[in-house]
């Protein structure tokens, strides 16, 4: 019986183009360490078994796999984009404990119940059926194994004016994401320069002046490079399929997929959560 492909081809193709344009080789040092901690700060690396085997679903450029590979025995990097895997192969060429697999969440080429851990960061909100993709990931885990998840939030912890701004930007995304890639890249670079950079730098100045900047738009980028802003602007405005979820919705999906002991990170980006297979 044929397996239903739970992916959007245009979105997969767009991410391949994104990682070819921004391969994340420039993301190093303190900035990489800070961003890595924001995603993996709640992940129980210390509780994993010796030489654990796990997977990165939607590895993209391999940017997070670089850091994870140093902490584990074997890491399977899974992505449905051939272009993305070419970038990841180059980025991870010095990581002999990393295996690359061309596949989506619906066809992860690993035995069920075989993995000591797994994670999927910023990926499953870009597939048609997020809940089913999450369940497909959890099925690969051993009982008790942790799974780390990052899904875009629906601004559920933000005021009405903040949500109104997001709705406006989402209308822009629907148009920009349908442009040919050179136009998408050029326009989102302009957005990074004219919107992300000024607001992020204003937040940085305000923070040094003693202000609480947590509620300011794009304050998350106040300590990041322009390279990261360009990458994320393309990710934000150049992606065809994007879904967003509230914290309770994410928790319910995780429970339905078979995860327990769910904890959420209380800092940006929202929402990062971790649970263990029941």
Q: What is the pLDDT of residue 41?
A: 97
pLDDT category of residue 166 using cuts at 50, 70 and 90: very high
E-assigned strand segments in the chain? 53-57, 74-79, 98-102, 117-121, 146-150, 259-264, 272-277
Taking the C-alpha atoms of residue 101 and residue 77, their distance in angstroms, rounded to an integer, is 6
Provide the whole-model pTM. 0.94
Checking phi first, is residue 245 left (phi over 0); if not, alpha (psi -120 to 50) or beta?
beta
The CATH T-level fold of domain 9-154+244-277 is Rossmann fold (3.40.50)
Q: What is the pLDDT of residue 4?
A: 72
pLDDT digits (tens, 9 = 90+) for 37-76: 999 999 999 999 999 999 999 999 999 999 999 999 999 9
**CA proximity to 238, closest of 21, 62, 1, 93:** 21
Using pLDDT thresholds of 50, 70 and 90, give the confidence band for residue 5. confident
- Helix (H, G, I), strand (E, B), or coil: what is residue 267? coil
Residue 3 has pLDDT above 80, yes or no: no
* Per-residue pLDDT at 2: 45
The per-residue pLDDT of the chain, averaged, comes to: 96
């Amino acid at each position: 019986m044929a397996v239903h492909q739970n992916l959007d081809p245009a979105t997969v193709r767009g991410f391949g183009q994104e990682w070819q344009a921004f391969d994340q080789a420039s993301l190093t040092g303190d900035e990489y360490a800070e961003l890595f901690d924001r995603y993996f700060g709640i992940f129980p690396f210390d509780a994993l078994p010796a030489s654990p085997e796990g997977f990165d679903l939607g590895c993209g450029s391999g940017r997070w796999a670089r850091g994870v590979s140093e902490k584990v025995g074997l890491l399977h990097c899974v992505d449905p984009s051939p272009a993305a895997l070419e970038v990841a192969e180059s980025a991870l060429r010095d990581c002999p404990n990393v295996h690359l697999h061309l596949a989506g969440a619906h066809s992860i080429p690993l035995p069920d119940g075989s993995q000591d851990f797994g994670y999927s960061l910023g990926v499953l909100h870009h597939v048609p059926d997020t809940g089913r993709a999450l369940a497909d990931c959890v099925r690969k885990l051993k009982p008790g194994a942790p799974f780390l998840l990052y899904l875009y939030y629906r601004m559920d912890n933000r005021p009405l004016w903040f949500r109104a701004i997001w709705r406006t930007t989402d209308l822009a995304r629907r148009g920009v994401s349908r442009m040919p890639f050179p136009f998408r890249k050029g326009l989102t670079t302009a957005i990074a320069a004219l919107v992300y950079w000024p607001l992020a730098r204003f937040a940085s100045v305000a923070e040094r002046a003693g202000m609480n900047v947590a509620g300011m738009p794009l304050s998350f980028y106040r300590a990041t490079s322009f390279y990261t802003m360009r990458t994320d602007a393309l990710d934000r405005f150049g992606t065809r399929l994007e879904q967003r979820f509230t914290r309770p919705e994410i928790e319910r999906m995780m429970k339905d997929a078979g995860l327990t002991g769910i904890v959420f990170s209380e800092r940006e980006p929202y929402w990062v959560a971790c649970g263990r297979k029941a």
